[in-house]
Structure 1
Amino acid sequence: MLLIAAALLTASMHSPGVVEAPVVPAGTSSVVGAPTSGPAVEDHAALDHLVGSRGSAFLADLGTVDGADLARADRDARVLATAQDRPPTPAAVRTWWSGLDQAARSRLVDHAPAVVGNLDGVPYDVRDRANRSTLARGLAASGDGSALHGMLQQVEAALSPDPGSPDRVLVALDTRGSGRAAIAVGDLATAADVTVVVPGMFFTVSGQMHDFADTADGLYQEQTAVAGLAAPDPARGSGVAVVAWMGYRTPDMSNILSLGLADTGAERLERVVAGLDAVRGDVRPRLNVVAHSYGSTTAMTALSSGRMRADTLTVLGSPGSDVRSAEQLAVGRGEVFVGDAHDDPVAGTGYFGTDPGSPGFGSTLLDLSGGVPEGTAGLFRRPVGHNDYLKPGTSSLHEVALIAVGRGDLVRHQARRGSGGTGGPQPGPDMYLLRPQDLQPRD
């Protein structure tokens, strides 16, 4: 087991900045501009009432608080915990926001951007404006060289697209502790195909947000390139959008063996999808979840909860989960895909439960071992190792893009697995795909 943990640690390293920014000790505040001692806010009756509100009552109270108290609320850890950790349902948020007049909306964005910017169900352009305000204020208020300032600089850099790429949208920004953020490439309000990319362990806003947003941009470009292979469906919208979702705390060395963060991440991912449904209403896009490493454990936990569904799920370098069969996942039939790269020491370990690429799970195992799709010789290279799946030029990036635009039928696959262990004998392993860890005993 320790050997597997060491493999997870080594394989998950992405850059020299991979170590998570220090978490602010309990009893202090990491909220930009918040006091570090004493009462969180002055004694204001309206604000005190807001602090104790939950659900729809919280939203109603937000609409009654004046600008000065809203500004205090936006720095109050208790209010932010309600908005970001135990918020009203996205459906309730959408109804509430739709019922506000323009003056009330402007007052909320101007004075409480950290609250508004993280409420699933608020339109994405409004959230982007609010979160960019929080970002600008945080950069101005935090000291150079501080962990918070470094984290916000990483987000700022991640919002700068390459020439020819679309503008990026700051969907979420939580400046507390080690931080959480989500950046979208493309228009989430109109896209026919929306892909949410879920990262694995050791990913942090401070260490990888810029690279992660670039990864989303690369997938956006590849999906756009292959979108013409799919029949247009006006009922879904038009175009594509990809979300680099670093919306949960991923494991570090202190909790590398735990499933607790996957459970928390799954709840947050469920809210993200519910927020998309609330904003899009009847024009629902094709929703694709692409999850890497521990992120696959998180995504499969969410999709087996009964509170979230997706049209496709692609897991890359998965260490497994408690889900034992694709039938337990709220995903389109035959739309669970598994990628195991050559020399990936994590894929197939089943460290956190059942390997989704195992015989009987019911998934389609992508053939990433060698060669390229017929007629495309020389265009793609195979991914190697644990962190290569979504790199430009890989066959895995190309196949993930095909799946995301509804053309999973075009991907190369080693075998279409049986479901639930029934349906006759399963095919034996392709010896060319045998990995070093397959030759070692497993716990």
Structure 2
Amino acid sequence: MLLIAAALLTASMHSLGVVEAPVAPAAHSAAVVHAAAHLPEDGSVPRPVMTGVHLASDRVGLDRGPAFLTDLSSLGRADLLRAGRDRRVLATAEDHPPSATEVAAWWSGLTDDERETLTTLAPSVVGNLEGVPYSVRDRANRAVLVTGLADHSTAAAVTAMLGQVRDALVHEDGAPDRFLITLDTRGAGRAAIAVGDLDTAADVTVVVPGMFFTVTGQMADFTNTANDLYTEQATVAGLAAPGSGNGVAVVAWMGYRTPDLSNIMSLGMAKTGGERLARAVGGLRTIRDGDEPRVNIVAHSYGSTAALMALASGQMSADTLTVLGSPGSDVRTAADLAVRTGGVFVGDAHSDPIAGSGYFGTDPGSAGFGSTVLNLTGGVDAQGAGDVFRRPVGHNDYLKPGTASLHDVALIAVGRGDLVREQVRRGERGHDGLPQTSPDMYLVRPQDLQPRD
């Protein structure tokens, strides 16, 4: 058990692929002005009860939701600028936001000048609101990124985080564009980068990381992994099942804080991560209302626990779910998940000590769960293309180029899960047909036992 716990600690520390015009002054909202203009002189941030943009602690019970948006858009330029930098306003926008449907309705009701003013003066708010068009969010978040990197008063930890995001946005000529659709520099940080166009893609895949993934440590590698999956999906695009839109998009979604040494045993972050993931998927569905893409969730390690919980919560749905190296969850069967029938897939690499452990509950690859366990032994492409794929080894090999797992994930993401090979169900013997062996000790190295946060 201790070995499994240690492996869980280190399992996700390596990235999978290497393994954030003027308008006439508007009527001021007194509650917002009071909150944004009366901060402690020492720079500390009090912790009032969060009640939308109404920030005073004695205003408990005031509306969030649309009221937050109405108050925000009613501010004059100076007050909007202050509110856009207020950490309490940002916490509401990023932790307790209005629904994507409410945001989309509000945004569509604004004039072009009002939208431009909000984007320019409060980019940290606009860039993280689900329901705002992705191109606008990308522009807003890139402005935050540039400003933060140029500001010499920015804390060193934040500068390092922003530097990693900057690097993650770099791509080679001819490669798909990258869009910064989430950027939150509070604490350990959160970020999400889309490879490809979320507004038009027929297939959208959201990749969810596991333990010890941080924006500062792995955002660039994680985004490159998303690019590898994008490339693999493009190679099988000719096999794609009919869908709306054109092309594919893959989101490197580091939208939740992953566990570290202090909270490895807890499912609290999986729950929070699942809630944030549900909001992100809800935002996509709102933006693409009437032209929804195929939505695929690919989740690794602890990220699979978060995704399973989200899809069993009633708050989100997906066309497919592929979990890789999963430590399990409290979800008992695939029937409890809001996923299309036959759309749950499980990948277990050779010598992965986490896969099949059931550490956090039911193993999604167990007999009776109702999933398809992928045959990742490698070999010649079953579709007759002549390509040879190697089998993934260990916990961090699943989405590396050339693996059978990356190829299968790509097929699933374009709606062709019927083309993947199914593994023999687990029993007392290993799921590759060989006696189960102990985890490879190289997976647990002393230098990997240090928290990244």
The TM-score with structure 1 as length reference comes to: 0.87
Partner of residue 379 from structure 1, selected from 366, 377, 388: 388
AA aligned to 1:240 is: V
> 2:433 is matched with which residue?
432
Does the alignment pair 1:14 with 2:14?
Answer: yes
Deviation at 1:167, TM superposition (A): 1.2
Separation of aligned partners in 1, 2:246 and 2:341: 24
Is 1:294 the counterpart of 2:265? The answer is no
Residue 133 of structure 1, aligned match among 137, 140, 143: 143
Q: 1:335 aligns with which of 338, 343, 360?
A: 343
Q: Is 1:122 equivalent to 2:128 in the alignment?
A: no
Indicate yes or no: 2:317 matched with 1:309. yes
Which of 409, 428, 434 lines up with 1:400 in the alignment? 409
- 5+ residue gaps in structure 2? 19-38, 47-51, 440-453
Supply the distance in 2 between the matched residues of 1:147 and 1:317 (Cα, whole angstroms).
30
Kindly indicate whether the alpha-carbon contact (under 8 Å) linking 1:349 and 1:437 is maintained by their aligned counterparts in 2. no
The residue number in structure 2 matching 1:160 is: 170
Paired residue secondary structure (1:120):
coil
Counting matched residue pairs gives: 407
- Spell out, residue by residue over 1:126-145, the C-alpha distance to the aligned partner (whole angstroms, 9 max, x if none): 00000001111111125588
Per the TM alignment, residue 71 of structure 1 is displaced from its structure 2 partner at its CA by: 1.2
- Please point out which of 35, 42, 49 is paired with 1:37: 42
Change beyond 3 A, Cα 1:282–1:343: same
Determine the C-alpha separation between the residues in 1 that align with 2:75 and 2:436: 60
Match of 1:355 among 358, 363, 369: 363
1:337 and 1:365 in contact (8 A); partners too: yes
Instruction: Output the CA distance in 2 between the equivalents of 1:112 and 1:231.
Output: 41
What are the ranges of 5 or more consecutive residues in structure 1 without an aligned counterpart?
19-33, 42-46, 418-425, 439-443
SS of match in other structure, 2:11: helix
Return the match for 2:225 from 215, 218, 227: 215
Distance 1:142 1:247, change over 3 A: farther
Deviation at 1:5, TM superposition (A): 0.8
Q: Look up the equivalent residue of 1:400 and give its one-letter code.
A: V
Query: 1:80, 1:115 within 8 Å by CA — same for their partners in 2?
Result: yes
**TM-fit CA distance, 1:357:** 0.4
**SS of equivalent residue, structure 2 residue 331:** coil
| C-alpha displacement of 1:69 | 1.1
Q: CA deviation at 1:309?
A: 0.4
Distance in 1 between the 2:100 and 2:53 partners? 24
Alignment of 1:16-415 (within 5 A): 37-38=42-43, 49=54, 54-143=64-153, 146-233=156-243, 236-374=244-382, 375=384, 379-415=388-424
Relative distance call for 1:362 and 1:137 in structure 2 (3 A) is same
Q: In structure 1, what residue type is equivalent to 2:412?
A: I
**For 2:376 and 2:333, how far apart are their aligned partners in 1?**
22
**In 2, are the aligned partners of 1:142 and 1:148 still within 8 Å (CA)?**
no
> Could you report, residue by residue, the CA deviation over 1:16-71 in whole angstroms, capped at 9, with x for unpaired residues?
xx9xxxxxxxxxxxxxxx98834669xxxxx9747765110000111101111111
Separation of aligned partners in 2, 1:279 and 1:35 = 39
Q: Distance in 1 between matches of 2:171 and 2:6?
A: 35
Q: 1:415 offset after TM fit, Å?
A: 4.3
After superposition, the Cα gap between the structure-2 partners of 1:350 and 1:310, relative to the gap in structure 1 and judged at 3 Å, is: same
Q: Tell me how far apart the structure 2 counterparts of residues 134 and 355 of structure 1 sit (CA, whole Å).
A: 41
Whole-angstrom CA distance in 1 between matches of 2:41 and 2:437: 51
1:208–1:367 distance in 2 versus 1, CA, 3 Å: same
The question of whether the paired residues in 2 share the 8 Å contact of 1:363 and 1:416 is answered with no
Q: 1:84 to 1:434 in 2, by over 3 A?
A: farther
Once residues 416 and 8 of structure 1 are traced to their aligned partners in structure 2, the CA distance between those partners, rounded to angstroms, is: 23
Structure 1 pair 216/262, CA: closer, same or farther in 2 (3 Å)?
Answer: same
Secondary structure of 2:279's counterpart equals helix
Letter in 2 for 1:254: S
Specify the code of the residue in structure 2 equivalent to 1:366. L
CA contact (8 A) 2:225 2:399 kept: yes
Question: What's the secondary structure of 2:236's corresponding residue?
Answer: helix
Secondary structure, aligned partner of 1:432: coil
Per-residue displacement from partner, 1:139-197 (whole Å, max 9, x unpaired)? 11255881110000000000001232111000000011110000000110111100000
Distance 1:49 1:255, change over 3 A: closer
Shift of 1:257: 1.0
Q: What is the CA-CA distance between 1:384 and the residue it aligns to?
A: 0.6
Task: Name the residue aligned to 1:21.
Answer: none
Q: Give secondary structure in 2 for the equivalent of 1:12.
A: coil
Structure 2 distance, partners of 1:382, 1:354, is 25
Percent identity reads 66
Letter in 1 for 2:14: H
In structure 1, distance between residues paired with 2:182 and 2:227: 17
Residue identity matched to 1:405: V
Secondary structure of the corresponding residue to residue 288 of structure 1: strand
Cα RMSD (Å) of the superposition? Answer: 2.4
1:158 and 1:36 mapped to 2: Cα distance? 36
Change (3 A) 1:87 1:414: same
Q: Is the 2:389–2:403 Cα contact (8 Å) retained in structure 1?
A: yes
Given that residues 344 and 435 in structure 1 are in contact (C-alpha distance below 8 angstroms), is that contact kept between their aligned partners in structure 2? Answer: no
Comparing 369-378 and 185-194, the one that deviates more: 369-378
- Residue identity opposite 1:3 in structure 2: L
Contact 1:50 1:58 in 2 (8 A): no
Deviation at 1:435, TM superposition (A): 3.6
